[in-house]
Amino acid sequence: MKSQVRVAILGATGAVGTELLELLDSRNFPLAELKLLASSRSAGRTLPFRGEQLPVTAVGEDSFKNIDIVLASAGGSTSKAWAAKAVESGAVVIDNSSAFRMNPEVPLVVPEVNPEAATTHQGIIANPNCTTILMAMAVWPLHQVQPVKRIIASTYQSASGAGFQAMEELKIQAQAILNGETPPTKSFPYPLAFNLFPHNTAINDLGYCEEEMKMVNETRKIFNAPEISISATCVRVPVLRAHSEAINLEFSQPFPVAKAREIIANAPGVKLVEDWQANYFPMPIDATGKDEVLVGRIRQDISHQSGLELWLCGDQIRKGAALNAVQIAELLVGI
Ligand code: A2P
């Protein structure tokens, strides 16, 4: 791909879209042009970028003409509606939705894990689910040294996973409860402030919700390891931004904790955060706005001699979405 790139952000006004703008700027992405697309609700708005106010236009038939890369983060139905059109126009779509992730012709890429998969694209590259990316970042370096057999994940997911509106809703709910009022619910089925509930995606016949199945299926695809057994319980918690995950890993033989700690400390995109004396480990407020996935509390599983326990926090909007997408774009451009 050429060195100065024409980029469109589909969903530019959203939580991930806004972060994409920030990352393209702060990472000095080589832009020849930047086009901001959203729904007709946002047409006429402007967003600041590199000292200018860029117009937001409603996505339409002509939106992808002369565009090299589309960073799409406007939900699955919008991606399904526009991705083919963008590819027809000659663009590569890096899609943050779940619309194409499990399509065998679409690579599912975490640049620290399977960058080579990006080269096999046929116009669309999928950005994995946020909880999956964060888990993959911590588990992959260990899996490289000793293949993991089984993963049990429990997640503590922030409001940001459901977008800007959901983050606002959490603040409004908290205020309403403090005022003794009934909290309004729109983005979520139940009040999230001072509460938590299992992830509100559709549940399958086995009792697993979509978010949990994304962690199962997407991790296997990214690792190219269909044999790994994975089970997840995904829970929404009243945190604004940055997800947390408790991960239990089972290997074929014991994995020395000191070795795991050393591997995590040296893994790309991951930061070891542990102060056992102070009982200080990764927290969502520390992960917010950070590129790295914070990993700590690595310990031997006392219930299984070949098991490890770890705890992680990662910014769901950043490495869980926008940063991973920009890193894929950088792979395409060769930087
Ligand atoms: P808009 O702001 O015009 O609604 P979030 O994940 O924070 O909720 O953001 C979703 C993003 O996706 C926003 O930029 C939103 O634009 C955009 N979006 C939602 N629906 C559509 C649609 N039908 N066509 C284009 N963009 C859409």
Q: Degrees (nearest 5) of the Cα angle 64, 66, 70?
A: 45
22: left (phi over 0), alpha (psi -120 to 50) or beta: alpha
Q: How far is the CA of 38 from the centre of ligand 1 (A)?
A: 5
Active site residue 243: yes
Neighbour tally for 143: CB within 10 Å: 20
Residue 236: both structure tokens together = 């929404």
- From first to last of the 335 residues of the chain, give the pLDDT tens digit: 667 999 999 999 999 999 999 999 999 999 999 999 999 999 999 999 999 999 999 999 999 999 999 999 999 999 999 999 999 999 999 999 999 999 999 999 999 999 999 999 999 999 999 999 999 999 999 999 999 999 999 999 999 999 999 999 999 999 999 999 999 999 999 999 999 999 999 999 999 999 999 999 999 999 999 999 999 999 999 999 999 999 999 999 999 999 999 999 999 999 999 999 999 999 999 999 999 999 999 999 999 999 999 999 999 999 999 999 999 999 999 98
- Tell the CATH topology of 5-128+321-333: Rossmann fold (3.40.50)
Q: Ligand 1 mean position to 76 CA, how many Å?
A: 11
Distances from the Cα of 26 to the Cαs of 37, 51, 52, 179, 237, in angstroms?
20, 13, 15, 40, 30
Q: Which residues lie below 8 Å from residue 179, measured CB to CB, with a gap of 6+?
A: none
Query: Ligand 1, from 13, 59, 168: best to mutate by most atoms within 8 Å of Cβ?
Result: 13
**What is the model's pTM?**
0.97
What is the model's pLDDT at position 190? 97
Catalytic position from the list 130, 143, 199, 234:
130
What phi and psi, each to the nearest 5 degrees, are found at residue 307? -110, 150
Q: Which residues line ligand 1 (CB under 6 A)?
A: 11-17, 38-39, 41-42, 59, 74-75, 78, 163-165
**Same fold for the domain at 5-128+321-333 and the one at 132-316?**
no
Q: Cα(first)–Cα(last) distance of the chain, in Å?
A: 11
- The 8 Å CB, 24+ separation contacts for 177-182 are none
Give the integer Cα–Cα distance in Å for 335 and 327. Answer: 9
Q: Report helix, strand or coil for 87.
A: helix
Q: Domain spanning 132-316: which CATH class is it, in words? A: alpha beta
Q: Return the residue whose CA atom lies nearest to atom 3 of ligand 1.
A: 39
pLDDT at 2: 67
Q: Which residue has the tokens 């402030």?
A: 193
Give yes or no for a contact between 335 and 28, defined as CB atoms under 8 angstroms apart.
no
Cβ within 8 Å of residue 326, ≥6 positions away: 20, 23, 24, 27, 29, 71
64: left (phi over 0), alpha (psi -120 to 50) or beta: alpha
The helix (run of H) or strand (run of E) holding residue 265 is helix 257-266
Q: 121, 143, 199, 243: which is the annotated catalytic residue?
A: 243
Distance from residue 48's CA to the centre of ligand 1 (Å): 18
275-302 burial code (b ≥16 CB/10 A, e <16): eeeeeebbbbebbbebbbbbbbbbbbbe
Is 121 labeled as catalytic in the residue annotation?
Answer: no
Q: How far is the CA of 255 from the centre of ligand 1 (A)?
A: 44
Q: Where are the domains of the chain?
A: 5-128+321-333, 132-316
